[in-house]
Amino acid sequence: MVRPTRVSNRIRALRFEHGEMTQAELARLLGVTRQTVIAIEKGRYSPTLETAFQIARVFGVPLDDVFQYPDDPNTPDDPDDSDDPHAP
């Protein structure tokens, strides 16, 4: 369960772009503890999808401006390119 995540985020940068919002202020807006905001920022905790959307909404940006997931060269970008015979 305690394993590194490949998800990275720009929360710290977004906080500074939004009037140097403090971690405590962001925590208050999300209804979580400041320690949870710190853990998310440092990639030590992956929030639920709902919290992820709430963070994006606080900053007024799309979800993938907040969280990023690195491209995997083994994963096809387009499902039509796959060899799956059941694919449409």
Residues that bind other proteins (CB under 8 A): 1-5, 27-28, 31-33, 35-36, 39, 42-48, 51
CB of residue 32 to other proteins, shortest distance in Å: 4
Residue 39, amino acid = A
Burial class (CB in 10 A: 0-12, 13-18, 19+), 46: middle
CB of residue 66 to other proteins, shortest distance in Å: 16
The conformation of residue 5, written as its DSSP 8-state character, comes to -
CB of residue 88 to other proteins, shortest distance in Å: 28
